[in-house]
Structure formats: C-alpha cells, structure tokens
Structure 1
Amino acid sequence: MGPTRKRDLAGAAVVVAVLGYMLIGVLYQWFPPLTVWTGLSLLAVALAEAGWAFYVRAKISDGQIGVGAGRLHPLTVARSVVIAKASAWVGAVVAGWWIGVLVYLLPRRDELRVADEDLPGAIVAAISALALAVAAVWLQHCCRSPEEPPDNGDPAQQ
C-alpha cells in the first residue's frame, strides 16, 4: 500500500465538482438551507487528525514505536494510515461537491436570495472538507518510518 497521491485526490475533487455542479442545477430547489454549521463536523475531524498526526510524528521521531508502556503500537500506526487514506478521499470528494455547489451559487447570488443566504454555509463546508483532506495527507506523511524513502522516489534506484 503506497501513499495517497495528491494528484489523484485533486482529480477526484475536480470530477465530483463537475458532477456536483450539474446535479445541483436540478436538485437545488429541494435543498434544505445551508448554514455555517453544515460543514463544521468535517473541520472537527480535520483538527482531530492533525492533532493525532503531530502526536504520531513526535512518537516516531523519538523512536517510541513498539510494545510497552508509553510506546505507540505499530498496529496503531498502521490503523492511522488506513484512517488517513480514507479521510483523504472523503475530504477530496466532499470538497469537490461543495466546490461544485459554490460554482453554482456564486453567479446566482444576485438573482436568488436563497443562493446568497446559502453561500456562507457552502464556503465553510468547502474549506472544512479541504482541511480534512490536508490533515489526512499530513497524518499519512507523519506515519512514515524515518528510514522510508521519499514518496516520489523510485524504489528501483534505492
């Protein structure tokens, strides 16, 4: 299992943004109001993952990986990588959706009062989803072993 590539995440976000833009044109009339609270749960998860990343990074840097008191179990690190990979994809896909919503709302905010009211909630949700993707990529990076080659290195040459 290799690290999640940022270009794959960006590609997924772009594809979902385009699909989201097309769907929102048809479905927007049935949307509930978007508030600033809409996307804050993603921001809470992003902050938790970022905090966990700093903790894992400190433990790995200090060589405190292994079994014992005060040490970080290797399976915990492996599970953190799995969570980070899943969260990165969720963050990218949800960010793509909210970017599609934003692209739909921005030009219509003068003609649709509800679009202007929904704009702050969509902005907060998009930023929160991007923060989740960034925090997940950071957690994934922090879970690397100090001896591991760089992400973009060619394993055949090392």
Structure 2
Amino acid sequence: MTPTRVRDLLGLFAVAAVAAWIVVRVAYGSLPPISVVAASSLFPVAVLVIVLAFVIRNRVRNRRVGDGPNQLHPITVARSVALAKASALVGSAAAGVWLGFLVHIVPQRATLRAAAADTPGGTVGLAAGVVLAAAALWLEHCCRTPDDETDNAAT
C-alpha cells in the first residue's frame, strides 16, 4: 500500500469544489439552512483519528506492535491505515464541497439574508474537512514502521 499523495487529495478537493459550486448555483433556493452544528460533524471523527494516531505512534516508537500481551496487533495498525486513507479522502471531498458552497454564497451575503446565515456553517464545514484530512495524513504517517537500524549498519 502506498502513502496517500497530497496531490490526489488536492485533485479530489478541486473536483468536489467545482461540482458543489455547480449544484449550489442551480439549487441554492431549495437547500435547507446550514447550521454550524451540522457542518461541524467531521470534528469528532478528526478527534478520534488524532487520538488513534497518538496511541499508534507511541506503540510503534516503543516497538510494542506484535502478537504478544500488551502489544498492538499488526492487523489493528493495518486497519488504522485503511481508516486514515478513507478519512483523508472524505475530509478532502467534504472540504471541497464546503468551498464550492462558500464560493457561491459569500458574494451574496450583502444582498441575501440566507447566504449571510449560511456562511458560518460553511466556514466551519470547510475547517472540519481540512482538519480531518490533515489528521488522517498524520495517522497514516504514525502507522509507518520505524527504520531498522541493523539494515543501515549492514550497508
């Protein structure tokens, strides 16, 4: 499995932003109001990803990954990498959607009350997506095996 490339996340972010901008431009009047609470729904996931990253980083640094007692099972680390990859994609796509939403409504804040009311929710949603993607990249980094010092001495 290869590490997640930031370039791929930025591409997904851009595609999601353009698609959301088109949808919001066409159907903004029929969308429900955006609350800050609803937009911040990715923050708890980001917190869980960050906590998991701290736990795994500690176990990997102390070489406490294995089948024994008080060790983190390698399958758990592999599942965490899968979670990190999925979270990075979700965070990037969500941030793109919120950016596309904001690009449409921010210029209309002065003339449209609904746009002014939706702006804080969109901003929080954008921040939540970015935080989730960053936390996921960090979790993925924490799941890497440390360099084996015996290999360096042999070469």
TMscore range, shorter length: over 0.9
* Distance in 1, Cα, partners of 2:41 & 2:22: 25
- Report the CA distance between 1:20 and its aligned residue: 0.9
CA contact (8 A) 1:64 1:72 kept: yes
More displaced stretch, 32-41 vs 135-144: 32-41
C-alpha displacement of 1:100: 0.4
Aligned match of 2:147: 147
Cα distance, 1:55 vs. partner?
0.8
User: How many matched pairs?
Assistant: 149
1:26 corresponding residue in structure 2: 26
How far is the alpha carbon of 1:68 from its aligned partner?
Answer: 2.0
Using the alignment, how far apart are the partners of 1:121 and 1:41 within structure 2?
A: 11
How far 1:97 sits from its partner (Å)? 0.3
Deviation at 1:11, TM superposition (A): 1.1
Structure 2: distance between partners of 1:41 and 1:137 = 19
- Pairing 1:128-147 to 2, within 5 Å after superposition: 128-147=128-147
* 2:18 maps to 1:12: no
Q: What is the CA distance between 1:15 and its match in structure 2?
A: 1.3
Q: How does 1:1-158 map to 2 (within 5 A)?
A: 1-147=1-147
CA positional deviation for 1:27: 1.4
Deviations 1:53-108 (A, max 9, x none): 01100100000000122110000000000010011001101110000001111101
Write 1 or 2 for the structure with the bigger share of helix: 2
**Moved beyond 6 Å, runs of 4+:** none
Q: Secondary structure at the match of 2:41?
A: helix
What is the SS of the residue equivalent to 2:44? helix
**Matches of 1:40 and 1:117 in 2, distance apart?**
15
How does the TM-score come out when normalised to structure 2? 0.93
For residue 129 of structure 1, report the CA deviation from its aligned partner: 0.8
Unaligned 5+ runs, structure 2: 149-154
Give me the whole-angstrom Cα distance separating, in 2, the residues matched to 1:146 and 1:64: 12
CA RMSD of the aligned region, Å? 1.3
Structure 1 Cα separation of the partners of residues 38 and 129 of structure 2: 11
Structure 2 match to 1:152: none
Q: What is the match of residue 153 of structure 1?
A: none
